[in-house]
Every structure is written in structure tokens, then in C-alpha cells.
């Protein structure tokens, strides 16, 4: 995989953005990365994603959630997509449903690619 694309995060801060993600995910998959700014594991997972990111913005819309600032929003995302609240956590949303959920050291761009390819 060739890292040709910069990961341009869309920052999550409002419940209305969950509706946006559901809508956008009908056109292209959306990724939600839940990040704790005070956790070394979370920082490492974020750095690994950013350094190896090779999806274009036409392939995946990447969303970023600072769970320390927006814990209630993290809980709403967990409820909406029937996933546990974890950090760091990566969710792939396609057609309004979570099709990939990984946390901590299980977050893998390779697995994200596999899930992305399985949805087409």
C-alpha cells in the first residue's frame, strides 16, 4: 500500500454530525476515529493511521472525535451504531451501519482495507 493521501480529519463536535455521517455513508464509507488525547496507545494508533493512510477522500470520509472533550457524543455514536465505547476506536460506517469496529492495538489499516473491499 502506497501512502499517497493525507488524512484530512473532519472534527466531530455535534450530534447533528452523526446524521451527516449516516447520510454521507450512503455514498461513500465514513470512518470514525475515537481518540483520547491523554492516552499513549491512542496517540500511537492515530499516528499509525496518519502515517500509512492511503485512501482518497472519494473512498472514505474520515471523522475524528476527541472523546475527552465530547464524551457524550462518543456515547451517542456507540448507541447509534451498536458498538461499545472504546478508545482508541475505529469504526467504518457504510449505508448507515457499522461494518468494521476495532479498538486499541487491533486497529489496522490492512483490516480496514479488507473490510472496505468486502463491502463492494
In whole angstroms, how large is the CA radius of gyration of the chain?
13
End-to-end alpha-carbon separation of the chain, Å?
Answer: 19
Q: What is the pTM of this model?
A: 0.91
CA pair distance 120, 118, nearest whole angstrom:
6
pLDDT class of 69 with cuts at 50, 70, 90? very high
Paired strand residues for 11: 64
The pLDDT tens digits for 43-66 are 999 999 999 999 998 999 999 999
Paired strand residues for 78: none
Instruction: Give the CA-trace dihedral at 93, 95, 99, 102, to 10 degrees.
Output: 10
The pLDDT tens digits for 3-24 are 567 889 999 999 999 999 999 9
Sorted by where each begins, the domain ranges of the chain are: 10-118
User: Per CATH, which fold does 10-118 belong to?
Assistant: Glutaredoxin (3.40.30)
Q: Which residue has the cell 502515517?
A: 51
Amino acid at each position: 500500500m502506497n501512502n499517497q493521501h493525507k488524512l484530512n480529519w473532519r472534527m466531530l463536535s455535534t450530534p447533528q454530525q452523526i446524521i451527516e455521517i449516516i447520510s454521507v455513508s450512503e455514498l461513500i464509507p465514513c470512518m470514525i476515529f475515537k481518540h483520547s488525547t491523554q492516552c499513549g496507545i491512542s496517540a500511537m494508533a492515530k499516528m499509525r493511521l496518519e502515517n500509512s493512510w492511503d485512501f482518497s477522500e472519494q473512498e472514505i470520509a474520515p471523522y475524528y472525535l476527541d472523546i475527552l472533550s465530547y464524551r457524550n457524543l462518543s456515547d451517542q455514536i456507540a448507541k447509534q451504531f451498536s458498538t461499545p465505547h472504546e478508545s482508541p476506536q475505529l469504526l467504518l460506517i457504510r449505508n448507515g451501519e457499522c461494518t468494521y469496529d476495532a479498538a486499541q492495538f487491533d486497529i489496522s489499516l490492512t483490516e480496514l482495507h479488507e473490510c472496505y473491499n468486502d463491502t463492494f
